[in-house]
Amino acid sequence: MKVAVVGATGLVGQVMLRVLEERRFPVSELIPAASERSAGKELTFKGVPVKVVTIEEALAARPDVALFSAGAGVSRTWAPRFAEAGTTVIDNSSAWRMEPHIKLVVPEVNAHLLTARDKIIANPNCSTIQMVVALNPLHRAFGIRRLVISTYQSFTGTGMKAVKQYQLEKKGFEPKDEERAYPHPIFENCLPHCDVFLDNGYTKEEMKLVNETRKILDAPEIGITATAVRVPVHGGHSEAVNVAFEKPFELDAVRRLLEEAPGVVVLDEPAANRYPMPLFAKDRDEVFVGRIRRDESIDNGLNLWIVADNLRKGAATNAVQIAEYLLAQKMIGQDAVADTQA
């Protein structure tokens, strides 16, 4: 199994390498790729140094699967070329998510839609992934009518530049203009500004939550509004999610559905001060749900607090889980080739 990681030197790319190793994905040959200025650098995989190559060189190696995390522009240019060469691309950028012919996949929710013909598969936005993992079983049971979402998102979601800005500010230094990922300080601050502002007054991040959630749940009729906030937190993203269901529900049934949901950990003992926090979600692959309670101001209303590591389940782990599903279904690798030839 030849596996390329495009964007291997970036924040998410490095976590992808770690997740591939930790989950023992059967990599016979790793092909870490990045921009030409990063080519020749050495990364470590399974204790062995591996040289970074250019994306052109990675394409020439004809990998079975390529995990992309190098930005939408790179994905738009290179993902089709890898796909044409027979490589299955799992793309972590926003480039393909809302294309009607491209599957937008969270394995716990809709991996069953994938086929061997899907050569470009979109990995959703980090905030969307953790939310739909928790909401999917509730939507199937009670039907979601409306969502009001407030996010508290780690600066790590913006990438290396944001991490460096935070570190400089924490040490008391004023970042230069070219060192800034944000227009304001992130250390000891909260910015109601994730991604760029659009003409409707929402940010791109907020509209990703709207559009991607509808696509993944196959529910274009759900009313969704979101406010996304960047916070000075390392460990992950947190979300206060207010849900209005079509059907009445019992809280015991909600808890049971969440406890049985794959990938979800219910942590809901407020009397004992036990609830999800990014501090404890860091470096974990599960989605943590707590503060489960009725919204007493509306009919069939529910409040949830949802937390996950944005670099792992929100990005790298979800991408690797998609690859694991494809491998188990013999859609990639030697078994897939044998099935095609047969």
> Please, what is the angle between helix 251-260 and helix 126-142, to 10°?
130
Residue ranges per domain, the chain?
Answer: 2-95+315-341, 127-310
* Predicted pLDDT at 333: 80
Kindly tell me the sign of the dihedral angle through the C-alpha atoms of 244, 259, 23, 43.
positive
Query: Among residues 139, 184, 193, 237, which one is catalytic?
Result: 237
Determine the pLDDT at residue 337: 53
Output phi, psi for 306, to 5 deg.
-120, 130
Beta carbons of 100 and 89 less than 8 angstroms apart: no
CA distance 193 to 201: 11
Whether 110 contacts 262, CB under 8 Å: no
Class of CATH domain 127-310: alpha beta
Catalytic residue status for 126: yes
Residue labelled with tokens 């937390």: 307
* Distance set, CA 319 to CA 13, 104, 250, 268, 322 (Å): 11, 11, 34, 28, 5
Q: Could you tell me if 8 and 14 are in contact, meaning their C-beta atoms sit under 8 angstroms apart?
A: yes
Assign 3-state DSSP to the chain and report helix, strand, coil percentages, each to 5: 40, 25, 35
Instruction: For residue 237, indicate whether it is catalytic.
Output: yes
Confidence (pLDDT) at 335: 64
pLDDT, tens only, 62-83 = 999 999 999 999 999 999 999 9
| CATH class of domain segment(s) 2-95+315-341 | alpha beta
Per-residue model confidence (pLDDT) at position 341? 44
Q: Do 210 and 280 contact (CB within 8 A), yes or no?
A: no
The pLDDT tens digits of the residues spanning 194-250 come to: 999 999 999 999 999 999 999 999 999 999 999 999 999 998 999 999 999 999 999
Low-confidence ranges of the chain (pLDDT < 70): 334-342
Catalytic residue among 101, 112, 126, 184: 126
pTM, to two decimals: 0.95
* CA within 13 Å, CB half, 155: 24
